[in-house]
Structure 1
């Protein structure tokens, strides 16, 4: 079966149809938006991007985005409070291309991170989470600094158990618990410093999508090439892609590294 944006649009509408939802289609951008009829809050899906994932993952790609939309819409319908939820506030890493405000124009609470990534903050709701915006902050009389401190404290409490693989003398460590905050571990400074003590070559870090953190002990040029291919593959197949670039970790700082091809880096 050949899949295109129109066929994907019909498939999603059939699977997400409910009496309290509306669908709108931007033909120029090939984007499908699903909204709650009562709140006018919703989620926009890039159909060409989903079609691309479908080529590799078939119906599993559709299953994943349907789950994401269902959970996201449910979270939007639920009233969220910060007070009493202090231990459920976490930072989340997103690409710098991710919107900095909600569709209604309300800014999210964000902090700069690297040239490729930005820090957002979220209230965990079990299977999903709600990004914290200025309206939620003002409603409870909280400030940006409080959110940042709580989130950074909480991310340090998350598991940092890693698995490893070795390729041509290079060691790759993977952290993937699928709790929604795997990439957020890049903000755990003590964890990165601890890992750096194990590294005998060059330490590189990657967050290709939300549910994985890769730390590499690079010993040779092959290591850079493997890291680049691995990161691009994760990025292309990730549920919430972040960046296909990797970072060098030196003296507590992250610097983007562009791996252009075999033996070429800058």
Structure 2
């Protein structure tokens, strides 16, 4: 049965029927909104995007959307605190183009990382997490330094198991635990130092999207090219893309690698 935006609207209305929710449909924008009646906090769904996913994946796409909406609404309706929740605070890496304010206009707590990336902070809530804003930080009487110290400590406690692949005499390592903090492991300095100590060549690092950290032991010029192509592919496929650039890790500093073209033969 072919899915249309109006059919999808009806399905979502039925699935999200709740006395505490209000739903509405914007015909001009083809969006469906669901929000809490009291607070008016909620989210808007672009229906044609979901129709496209449904055509690819069927009913599973709608099940996933329903779960995402109900979880997001639950989080919006909760009061959160940081004190007592210290072990659930983690750093998350995002592109520098990522918003620094919520849709409600709240400033998010963040700090610079590299020219391509920025660090935000998340309160882990099980199935999802909430990015920490300045209001929440201020209400707790916390500073940026304190939350950064706690989050960095917690990221070091995460597993750093990796898969290894050897291509054209270069070694590539992939951390992909799918826990929402794979890219965040780039902040585990002890892990990077260990990988650097064991590298035969130069250690390069990439965070193309949230759910992977790539480390590369580059032992020849071809290695840079392979890493560039690999990072670009991961970046294009990622659910939350970060950066298609890779970094050289040297003296505890991440320097972007600019690989402009495929390896060209050197002139004699």
TM over 0.5: yes
State the alpha-carbon separation in 2 of the partners of residues 224 and 51 from structure 1: 39
Q: What are the Cα deviations for residues 175-196 of structure 1, in whole angstroms up to 9, with x where unaligned?
A: 1111111111001111111111
CA pair 48-119 structure 1, distance change in 2 beyond 3 A:
farther
Q: CA deviation at 1:217?
A: 1.1
Partner of 2:256, secondary structure, is: strand
State how many pairs are aligned: 259
TM-score by length of 2: 0.82
8 Å contact 1:24–1:34 — kept in the other structure?
A: no
Partner of 1:220: 220
1:78 corresponding residue in structure 2: 78
Distance change (3 Å), C-alpha of 1:200 and 1:10 = farther
- Structure 1 pair 262/126, CA: closer, same or farther in 2 (3 Å)? same
1:99 aligned onto 2:99: yes
Larger deviation: 174-183 or 61-70? 61-70
Structure 1 match to 2:142: 142
Output the TM-score relative to the length of structure 1: 0.82
Whole-Å separation in 2 of the counterparts to 1:225 and 1:209: 19
* Aligned ranges 1:59-208 → 2 under 5 Å: 59=58, 67-208=67-208
Change (3 A) 1:257 1:51: farther
Q: Residues 230 and 80 from structure 1, CA distance in 2 versus in 1: closer, same or farther, beyond 3 angstroms? A: same
Instruction: Give, in whole Å, the separation in 2 of the partners of 1:32 and 1:140.
Output: 35
Whose radius of gyration is greater, 1 or 2?
2
Unaligned 5+ runs, structure 2: none
Distance in 2 (CA, whole Å) between partners of 1:237 and 1:55 is: 18
Deviates more, 1:125-134 or 1:40-49: 40-49
Deviates more, 1:134-143 or 1:189-198: 134-143
Q: How far, CA to CA, are the matches of 1:223 and 1:49 in structure 2?
A: 37
Distance in 2 of aligned mates of 1:61 and 1:225:
36
Shift of 1:88: 0.9
**Gap runs ≥5 in structure 1:** none
For residue 139 of structure 1, report the CA deviation from its aligned partner: 1.8
CA contact (8 A) 1:155 1:188 kept: yes
| Shift in CA distance, 241/50, structure 1 to aligned 2, threshold 3 Å | farther
Cα distance between partner residues in 2 of 1:223 and 1:256: 15
- Call closer, same or farther: CA 1:197–1:105 in 2, change over 3 Å: same
Superposed CA deviations along residues 4-41 of structure 1, whole A, max 9, x for unmatched, are xxx5796477447444144566968x877654443333
2:259 maps to which residue? 259
Q: 1:2 to 1:248 in 2, by over 3 A?
A: farther
Conserved 8 A contact 2:54-2:62 = no
Measured in 2, the distance between the counterparts of 1:231 and 1:13 equals 40
Match of 2:247 in 1: 247
8 Å contact 2:8–2:51 — kept in the other structure?
no
- Tell me if the contact between 2:23 and 2:32 (Cα under 8 Å) persists in the aligned partners: no
